[in-house]
Amino acid sequence: MFQLVYAALALAAEEHDDEGEQREGGYLQLVVGREYRPQCSAMVGDCGAVLREVIRSPVDDMAFGEALETVLRDLQAQCAVQPHVREDDRFGVTLWAPDGSAQGLNSLLRGTAAERLVYLADQVQDWAVEALWSEGASAVWPQCPTHPDTHPLTATVRTDTAVWVCPKRGTAVARIGELQTQ
């Protein structure tokens, strides 16, 4: 339990490299979207209050819902396995696979809308690859149209837009949310 709280606080802080330059930070991958245990605050004093201030629930974030709908359009268009999406106060938003496995989703605490969309697309892609593999299908999603069944497209930001890119050629294939049905 202490490790969970410590990790959340460490990840919430801005990170700096050896030369003092700010780098990516502010992720709460270990806490957001997972059960928050009220006893944490009793065990670590004021840290619980800090966590409650720092953690934003994806369920309460309208932008998160819109981003999820955008990524799910791509999943609907090109993935053989579709998730059952559940939202509740205890776990946030969770994608459930037909085999009963699940993955919680979380939001990026800072960044542009495009960066937050890419962050969410990466999580949904992880879920899709695992779900496809579990079903015995090609564990590649989304498929690269130039190199099918060899590698998935990569979510990235180009000129302030969240796009799917072929990782071999670096070419943008589509905006996230606009993949064509296969």
Length of the chain: 182
Model confidence pLDDT, tens digit, residues 88-125? 777 789 999 999 999 999 888 788 999 999 999 999 99
* Identity at 8, one-letter amino acid code: A
Side-chain half-sphere CA neighbours of 174 within 13 A:
19
pLDDT above 60 (res 43): no
User: Would you say the pTM of this structure is higher than 0.85?
Assistant: no
Model confidence pLDDT, tens digit, residues 119-178? 999 999 999 999 999 999 999 999 999 988 889 999 999 999 999 999 999 999 999 999
Give the percent of the chain with pLDDT over 70. Answer: 66
Residue 58 DSSP class: G
Residue, of 138 and 56, whose pLDDT is higher: 138
Domain ranges for the chain? 2-54, 58-175
Structure-token pair, residue 33:
């979207």
The phi, psi pair for 147, rounded to 5°, reads -130, 65
Question: Would you say 109 and 64 are in contact if contact means Cβ atoms under 8 Å apart?
Answer: no
- pLDDT value for 16: 45
- pLDDT value for 61: 64
- Residue 103 pairs in a beta bridge with 95
pLDDT above 50 (res 63): yes
C-alpha–C-alpha distance, residues 80 and 162, integer Å: 23
Model confidence pLDDT, tens digit, residues 123-138? 999 999 999 999 999 9
C-alpha–C-alpha distance, residues 178 and 3, integer Å: 40
C-alpha–C-alpha distance, residues 13 and 59, integer Å: 23
